[in-house]
Amino acid sequence: MRDDNIRFYFSFRSPYAWIATERLEAELGGLAVSVEPLPIFPTPDLFPNDPSGLEAKVAFLVQDVRRLARDYSLIVQFPRVPDCDWSLSHAAALGAVRRGEWLPLTLALFRQRFCNGADLGEDSVLSLAAEAAGLASGQVLADAHSPELRQNAARGWAQASERDDVFGVPSFVFAGKLYWGQDRMHHLTAAVERKV
């Protein structure tokens, strides 16, 4: 990881990370720096205050994400299964990062989750995302089930916290500064333009 690039931390659990990813090219595509994608997910021991356990917060999140989706002409269908085996989708994304194919797969996985309401813990859903991204489903499934990639994915949240003080997603880090939330992308853009 280089400090002169933007580190982009995202999780397939988060509809806000989905919206940030949908807007990534429009917001950051013209900048003279690279974006380093870092798929992470919190394990229960690292995320004891999981907001998905608070009914009022979940109700707000549903309203808020629907408003944001309308703003960006996105269709939203919240997942029927609130949680799944997160290591599979995040390991698949890590494999795609290594091959330089992360954005098409990441968008396809997010769309399966938040546009189709699908369970990212199912191989059939991962295969559909791979096909939508124009990638070989066999490779994506192999990445998803790779013990090495799954272990790396499980360690990602702790590493993000230690390295960049990340406490939620989407988070962007540039020049040692943290920008948390899809609604901070314009501040990030301004910081990059000032520095470059």
Q: From first to last of its 196 residues, what are the pLDDT tens digits of the chain?
A: 456 899 999 999 999 999 999 999 999 999 999 999 999 998 777 665 666 667 888 889 899 999 999 999 999 999 988 889 999 999 999 999 999 999 999 999 999 999 999 999 999 999 999 999 999 999 999 999 999 999 999 999 999 999 999 999 999 999 999 999 999 999 999 999 998 6
Tell me what pLDDT residue 44 has.
72
Instruction: List beta partners, residue 178.
Output: 173
Whole-number pLDDT of residue 196: 65
CA–CA distance, 159 with 34 (Å, rounded to integer): 20
d(CA 139, CA 75): 28
pLDDT for the residue numbered 2: 57
Confirm if 121 and 144 have CB atoms less than 8 A apart.
no
| pLDDT for position 181 | 95
β-pairing, 6-10 with 35-39? parallel
CATH T-level topology, domain 6-195: Glutaredoxin (3.40.30)
pLDDT of residue 51: 62
| CB of 125 closer than 8 Å to CB of 119 | yes
What is the reported pLDDT for 42? Answer: 87
Helix (H) or strand (E) holding 58: helix 55-71
Residues 158 and 152: their CA atoms lie apart, in Å, by 11
pLDDT given at position 4: 82
Largest CA distance in the chain: 45
What is residue 55's predicted lDDT score, i.e. its pLDDT? 83
How many Å apart are CA 127 and CA 124, to the nearest integer?
5
Please tell me the distance from the alpha carbon of residue 112 to that of residue 108, in angstroms, as a whole number: 6
Task: Give the pLDDT confidence score for residue 14 in this predicted structure.
Answer: 95
